[in-house]
Every structure is written in structure tokens, then in C-alpha cells.
Chain A
Amino acid sequence: MIFNEIYSVYYQVVAKIIEEIIRGDAEEKHLDRIVREYAFSESMQTVLPALKGEKWQLMRRDRTTPIQHPPTMPLTLIQKQWLKAITLDPRIQLFDVEIRGLEEVEPLFTSEDYVVYDKYGDGDPFEDEGYITRFRTILSALKERQALKIQMVNRRGQLVLMQAMPVRLEYSEKDDKFRLISTGCRYGGTVNLGRIVSCEKCEAGHFASPIPPSPVKRWLTLRIRDERNTLERCLLHFAHFKKQAERMDANHYLVHIQYDKDDETEMIIRILSFGPMVEVIQPEPVRKLMIERLQRQKSCGLF
């Protein structure tokens, strides 16, 4: 259904090669570059030799082609069905687009067919007109590399004004929120879109570097005791980080995870959720924070 050669990298690369030949740019070096750029690392050994050897009869030995039109392919049924499905999602309004030609198409899925059951309940108001306008302004500033004048409510509920150079929009599926990652802002580089009250584009002016400071990365090491299926649960839970696992013995494993220092509290909470099956081994400051929480728990008089 989805795993089909018509979507394959090889078909895409051959389409680009034919297009270049039709345009009159059939230099071997150029065709090599297309394969290197768009295909897999070992595709060089297959694609051009198959074309040059006339195994795939789409290019002659003199690098001309019997194909007369630049290759194109209409959308497949499943592509149309998927597009139709996403037009039914409430977040679609953030994007100022109208897709025509899907009126008769059945969606691949609707909100009745799946549920994201553990996302947080205070996600961004994606259907709010003000939010949609601000989102579009930010996206437009990103494309045009323009700065933004932003008015937002801070954690203490106060209105603050700031100017920033937008770098990207970061979406968290768990929080169901967008954050604006920016540079040049005195309140820090990350702003929740939900806190922005108004924003407008302004001259880039003094924002010299569009690159925000890299987040501070830390490694932590966990020891997993594989009971109650903890190994699989834990490795899947932390799968979205850069990580490496090693086996200590039949029942114990070490996993090293790289995380952003800013997310340390969140990491501690996530580790606590595994109870005694997962122990922080390193670094010592994180282990101390775990101990602090447990000591505070002891003072709660639960038992």
C-alpha cells in the first residue's frame, strides 16, 4: 500500500536525471551529483550503471533519452486520501492554503479513527482567530527572515515587550503546543506561542546572527532492572533522545541518554515514573536531585 517502488528514491532520482537530460544538461558529472545528492550512499553503484548499460531503457549510451516530457506523476489515491484526512485536522487552519480537487476523495482516517490519548489537556488554541493570525505572522517572518516585535504574558502574568529574530517553530506533540525559537531576545530564546498576545514584523536591524545559542547538552546514565517489561518500556520511552544501551547481565542494563540541560526537571519526573526499576547512576547532581525528591516524599507521612 505504502511500501511501493513508485515512491522510491530510485524512481525520484531517475526522474530528475531524465528531466536534466531533456533540459540539455546531460554531463556525466552532473548526473553523478544528482545521484549523490538525492539517493542513498551506495546508489552510485547501481543507478547510473543501470542507465548507461541500458538495463533500464530510459537513457541511451550517448546520454539522450526516448522520454519526451519531463517526468511527472499524478497524486496516488492514498496521497489524496491522506491529504483529505489532514484537511479535517483543526490545526490545518494555521496554514493559509486551500487544496482543490479532493471533494470526491474519502479521507484515509478521521478523528474518529484514532486518539492521541496522553497529550496534555491545555494545548494551544489552534482554532482561535487571533492565534492563527499570530502563527501566520511568525511563519511569514521566518520565511522572509524578518524580525518580530512581540507582546507576551510572562510566567508572572505581566505583559512584556520584546524584539526577536525567529529561527524556527518547535511543536511538542505531548504538550500540543508550539514554541518560537528565536535569537536576540533578552527574555531567552524560547517563547510559547500561547503566551503571545500580539506580534508584528519589523526590520531585522541589529540582529546580526540568525543562529540561536546551542542548547547545553548533558549525558545521564540509568541502570535498568528488566522486570515488569521495564527494559522495553524505558528504551521506547526515551527513544527520541540520542542514546546508547549496554547489557550488564541477564537482567540489568545501562542506558546513556543525551538531554538538554534545560529539561532536567522533566527528565527527573520521567525517570521517577519507572519506580525502582530505573536508577540514576550518573551524573551525581541528577542523582542528588532524585534523592532530594525521595527524602521529601519520606516526610509526607504516606506510610
Chain B
Amino acid sequence: MSAYQELIKNFEKIRGYMREFYVYGFKSREEYNKKSARSYDDERRRMESWLGDHMSFVRTPEGKTVFISIDSRVSQHNPFYKALKAKSFTDGDITLHFLLLDILYAPAVSLSLPEILAQIDQSLSCFENPMVFDESTVRKKLKEYIEQGIIVGEKVGRKMMYHRAGDVELPGITDLLNFYSEVAPCGVIGSFLLDKAENPPDFFAFKHHYITSAIDSDVLAMLFTAMRKKNAVTVWNLSRAADQPSKIQMIPLRVFISVQNGRQHLLAYQPQFHTIKSFRIDYLSDVKLEGYAPRFDELRAELDKMQSKMWGVTSSKSHHGKEHIEHVEFTVRVGRNEEHIVRRLEREKRIGRVEKVGKDTYRFTAEVYDTSEMIPWIRTFICRITELRFSNRMLENQFKRDMEEMYHMYGIAEEKHDFQ
């Protein structure tokens, strides 16, 4: 049995634990122990080491419950980025890393593999038991660094010569990195860049700031790479309905980011079902690039068209080969000095239109693929909804039943209505 290590080789396992501790945080150790008691203890200890004060625990009758609690308005930088800076390595990896970048210390220094090997041996000769790196190990590391873009390999005659890649000038970029490392997709990359600076000053804070997506950065970067190359991918997907993840093929088309519910979805074409569907990015893992997808542009154009009828992430539902569209309208009362309600309707609507229909009433109307996605927003106008009409009668009745239930819940119900 190997000893506990602060660093990890595989991110997938800790990704699951982090989400559980941060989003839910009410499960006891015993519930996690169904998987492995040791694994739970190790992952919890690692997170305590990375996240420090953000980790808390309470004792409940079911046992000790560990949770992560973070007010992201107060933390200037996403604490979850630390997890992505905890990749394990071998003693050889770290030694070779610093030796190689020291030997190839400037882009003008260009050496062959035997020359590099000779210099490595010379550098290590001062140690009592010097490490020995064979040719294939160093060649493999150089190849890895060429893929990362930090080393350049060039054939000169029949010889492969290696030199350090040229750098990018980044003067006065700290403010920009402080901002974009928090708001741009894959912001952790900005955090890696900030790590190069010495305690950079930071003047930004973030409100309504969802930080969980940090742990999905690797998946997201692979999906972006696939989209840029117009590639299909295979990916493991853990849907809510299934216990085990399944491997699926898809053509990624666009990432849909929510700044109101903390979720990120991928809209992708699934050839197996001839349909564009949404997938939760936090449920995806192990993305592998496949070949070029010749239909990429055509499918993305189709998604562009669909977006005018999408409130959230549900795309066209086909009923017997026909596009299924639902009509939604509701009217709100706007009193004197309540012009902000009209402004709210205008700025918060993503599709549809707002019109004045009476002296103090405004109506919102839209055609959508899925009325249910719009209901949470409509509920935010509770206290002023005077009319409501959905072509999906089932959902309209459910909305009204829900209202009745809320009256009961808060003790203000009078009589029961029957909505059929």
C-alpha cells in the first residue's frame, strides 16, 4: 500500500469529491465509504491541504460531514484552481524539467540530443548518486515539451536540434490576467500566467461568481480544441438517469455558459440519434478528439437558427419529424414608480418581445422549444402576474397548481382550485 501523497495523478476522482463537498456537502463519511474509506480520507486530506480555511465540518447523528463553503464575492481568485496545480510527477520528471530548461536557457541555444545528454550527465556529476537518464527518456521528455510548445525541435541536415521556444512579451498584463482568469472560459490558464508574477496587486472582485466550473477546465479546453478543428469527439457521459458513464460520439458545436445557475452545457450533434442535444459539461470526462467532421459548419448554422427559440439549453424537439414549438405569454401589472419592472423585462428576456397592453400592464410573448425552462424566470414576477397563457396546457396548469401550493406553504391559501 503506497503512502499518502499531497499530489494526484488522476484528476477525475477528486473532481467528483470536490463537487460533492462544494455543491452538496451534507453526506457523511459513511456514505462515501461505500466506495473506499481510504480514498475518502485521502481526498478529504488533500482538499484540506489545498483549500485550507474553506473546508469545514459538522457533526450530525449520521457522523462527521465535511463541506466546502466559499463566498466567491470575497475571494479574489478561484480557490479551486489550486487543485489543477497539484499534478504528481516522478523524481526524474522534475529533475529533467529544470535541467533541460537550464541547458536550453535561451532560444539561440540549439543542441542535439547527445549534446543535451552530455550536459545533463555533467550537471548531475556533482551528486553522490547521480541519476542516469537514458536517451529514450530524454527524447520522450523533449517530445512532450515540443507538444506543450516550450521546446522547438528542428531538423538540421539529418540531425534533430532542440532549442527553447521564443516567448511572448507580456508587459503590464497583470490587471488583464486578474480579470480574465476569473471571467473567461478556462480561466485557470490565466491563473498559471499570474503565477509567473511576484505577488501581483489585484483590484478586482466578482459578484454572482460561479467557481465550480474550474474543475471542468480540462474537459472544456478539449471541447474548444475540437470545435476549433471542427472535429468529432468521443467522450464519457454520466447522465442523471444512469449509474455508470457511457461512451458516446458527438460533434461539439457550442458551449452554453450560465451566469445564473452555475451550470455549463455543451450543445453537440449526436449522429446516433441525428439530433442536436445538450450535455452537462460537469458530467463529461475523458474527451478524445476524433476525425474531421465535414458537417460541422452546417450543424452549427442549424444551432444558430435554433437559438432564437431557446430560452436555456433545450434545442428543437422533433415530434413526428416536425419541429415542436410552444407559445408562452404572460402579463404583469406595473404600478406607478415601477418602471424598473419594464426595464427588468427588457433586459432579462433572452428571446421574445415585451409590449405595453394596457395603462399599467405589459405582456411578454415568445415562441420556445421548451416552456419549462422559462418558468423559473416567470415566477420571479410573482406578485404582479395578471395573465398567463401557455400552449403547453399541462405546464400552465402545473404553474397554477404550484402557485396554490405556495399559498398553502406560507399559510395564505383559501380554497382549492381544480386545474385540468
Within 8 A of A (CB), among B1-16: 5-7, 11
Structural contact, A42 and B94, CB atoms closer than 8 A: no
Residues of chain B contacted by A128 (CB below 8 angstroms): none
Q: Which of B154-162, B205-213, B320-328 lies on the face that meets chain A?
A: B205-213
A195 at the B interface (CB under 8 A): no
Residues of chain B contacted by A99 (CB below 8 angstroms): 168-170, 173
B105 at the A interface (CB under 8 A): yes
Residues of chain A contacted by B108 (CB below 8 angstroms): none
A6 at the B interface (CB under 8 A): yes
B293 at the A interface (CB under 8 A): no
Residues of chain A contacted by B189 (CB below 8 angstroms): 2, 78-79, 82, 108
A282 at the B interface (CB under 8 A): no
Q: Main secondary structure on chain B at its contact with chain A?
A: mixed
Structural contact, B148 and A4, CB atoms closer than 8 A: yes
Structural contact, B94 and A86, CB atoms closer than 8 A: no
A37-53 interface code vs B (CB 8 A; 1 in, 0 out): 00011110110001000
The interface size of chain A toward B, counting residues with CB under 8 Å, comes to: 126
The interface size of chain B toward A, counting residues with CB under 8 Å, comes to: 144
A261-276 interface code vs B (CB 8 A; 1 in, 0 out): 0000000011011111
Residues of chain A contacted by B89 (CB below 8 angstroms): 5, 8, 10-11
Residues of chain B contacted by A106 (CB below 8 angstroms): 228
Residues of chain B contacted by A77 (CB below 8 angstroms): 147-149
Residues of chain A contacted by B94 (CB below 8 angstroms): 5, 10-11, 14, 56, 58
Structural contact, B180 and A86, CB atoms closer than 8 A: yes
Residues of chain B contacted by A117 (CB below 8 angstroms): 256-258, 310, 312-313, 350
A250 at the B interface (CB under 8 A): no
Structural contact, B205 and A122, CB atoms closer than 8 A: no
CB distance from A16 to the nearest CB of B (A): 9
Partner of B203 from the list A4, A68, A142, A279 (CB cut-off 8 Å) is A142
CB distance from A153 to the nearest CB of B (A): 15
Structural contact, B382 and A297, CB atoms closer than 8 A: yes
Known pairs A76-B149, A79-B192; list 4 more (Cβ under 8 Å): A5-B94, A66-B123, A232-B23, A302-B403
Chain A residues within CB distance 8 Å of chain B: 1-12, 14-15, 18, 40-43, 45-46, 50, 54-58, 60, 66-69, 71-80, 82-83, 85-86, 89, 91-92, 95-97, 99-102, 106-110, 112-122, 139, 142-143, 168-175, 179, 181, 229, 231-233, 235-237, 239-247, 253, 258, 260, 269-270, 272-276, 279, 287, 290-298, 300-303
Complex A-B: 27 CB contacts under 8 Å = A2-B84, A5-B87, A5-B97, A10-B94, A68-B105, A77-B148, A78-B221, A82-B190, A95-B175, A99-B173, A112-B300, A116-B259, A117-B350, A121-B347, A122-B343, A139-B203, A169-B205, A172-B206, A174-B259, A181-B205, A235-B24, A246-B65, A272-B380, A275-B376, A276-B402, A279-B410, A294-B382
